[in-house]
Amino acid sequence: MATRFMMNEKAWRVANSSLFALFCAFAAIPAWAVDVGVVGLFPGKAVLVIDGGAPRTVPVGASVSGIRLIAVDQDSVTVEIGGKRQRLAIGQHAHSGGHGGETQNTSLTADSRGHFITTGTVNGATIRFMVDTGATSIALGASDARRANVSTANARPVMVQTANGITQGWLVTLDTVRVGDVTLNGVEGIVHQHDMPIALLGMSFLNRMEMKRDGQTMTLRKRY
């Protein structure tokens, strides 16, 4: 015998209210931030770095991670991100999404020689840094690495070009790097075999920043 189920009016209202609350909860979840940078241009294609991942060659008209490549010309691209079109040259970035949470930024002042030198931390240990856009990664001397508890026991050995020639180094991942109010996790670094007069704040950190220079002041804003 078939069983007939009937929901009374009160139960129906409760069910509808629960479903509406669930919908609102999902709708309130913020979208993930998306960051895209342009690192290469080819006819009809561009090489993009999305949220710090590996470079990807994207043809015009294709979409990757919510980013659509609209056009490529001789020295720039047009992308659609977050429903808005932006034109980017090589080396430039666009950022969209991510409600909630304050933007982390810090300002540095150049010294008399034009160098941007600041004090930060690696894994909680105080480190003196110099901004170096020519360095691919954060570079630490041997004693700085020891103070920051950065182990090279299982690290990949690399050869490093320095002002004094080629020397031994080790490729590592730094758990936490902090400069001013900006904190990054999982940052690539190189530990040098010998001590260095000052650590280098290289592109493994700076690539995740929006950098703006105004005279003797450089502002770094965390992008992701």
Query: Is the C-alpha dihedral spanning 152, 157, 160, 165 positive or negative?
Result: positive
For the chain, the distance separating the N- and C-terminal CA atoms, rounded to the nearest angstrom, is 61
Q: Does the fold of domain 105-222 match that of domain 34-96?
A: no
What is the CATH code of the structural domain delimited by 34-96? 2.30.30.830
In this structure, the strands spanning 209-214 and 156-162 are unpaired
85, 70 Cβ separation under 8 angstroms:
yes
CA dist 11 → 3, 18, 24, 145, 206 (Å): 19, 11, 20, 64, 57
pLDDT tens per residue across all 224 residues of the chain: 444 444 455 544 544 454 444 444 434 434 445 677 787 889 999 998 887 677 889 999 999 888 889 999 888 889 988 778 888 877 666 766 544 445 688 889 999 899 999 999 999 999 999 999 999 999 999 999 999 999 999 999 999 887 778 889 999 999 999 998 899 999 999 999 999 999 999 999 999 998 988 888 999 999 88
Return the closest-CA partner of residue 160 out of 169, 152, 151. Answer: 169
Rg (CA), the chain: 24
Return the closest-CA partner of residue 198 out of 162, 222, 170, 168. Answer: 162
For residue 2, what pLDDT is reported?
A: 44
Q: Which two tokens stand for residue 90?
A: 């090589």
Domain ranges of the chain: 34-96, 105-222
d(CA 59, CA 63) in angstroms, rounded, equals: 9
d(CA 217, CA 110) in angstroms, rounded, equals: 6
d(CA 84, CA 149) in angstroms, rounded, equals: 44
In this structure, which CATH number among 2.40.70.10, 2.30.180.10, 3.40.50.1820, 2.30.29.30 belongs to the domain 105-222?
2.40.70.10
Instruction: Report if pTM > 0.85.
Output: no
Residue bearing tokens 């290469």: 40
